[in-house]
Amino acid sequence: MTPLPALIDIRDDLARAIEETDGDDDLRSELRTVSDRLDAFEERDRADRGGIVDEVDNQLLRVEERLDDEAAARAVQSARNRLHIYRESRQQTDANLAVVDSTVRDSGGPGADEVVPVGEVTVAVTVANTGADTEIVPIVTFYDDRAAEVESVRGPEFALAGGEQAQFEFDADAPADATTHAISISDTGEVRT
């Protein structure tokens, strides 16, 4: 089973939206259904997980169009922004590689699920390789609270054996206005051969 990446664990945004829609039971029910769909993510293969993200995004769009409350609409838009960032980072990752998990934490400190610390950070990324032995380069992209890209940082090259999964760490400088991150992986081994 693949854990739900912190970037798209949008339950915090959904909880804020549910709290703001206390007068509309239909909207609250639909937002709870979205939260339940996220549970299916862990049980699906890579292709199916993309479909779940699309379903959740489409359902949130329908909810957003019906919302009258500004705070609830902002929470739903925040959730949708995070889904779009996740989708974009997946599209930038080579087909035989998958980011299993990633964290950004204060260098030497404990991991942070969603909050991006400011300044020097340690980026940890777990990558699965279904292809041949290769060299990979992780790229961490930082986004602000409006889902606008703030900065991208290219990590060093790492060797990753075919059919293996491994965790890699590197240091980066997180900008002050970064609120979330996404990781994409480039396969430099194929480029060289």
Name the token pair of 16. Answer: 């804020």
Handedness of CA 65, 7, 127, 148 (dihedral sign): positive
* Best-predicted range by mean pLDDT (20-29, 39-48, 74-83): 74-83
User: What pLDDT, in 10s, does the model give residues 40-74?
Assistant: 777 776 657 778 888 999 999 999 998 888 999 99
For the chain, the residue count is 193
Entry pTM: 0.72
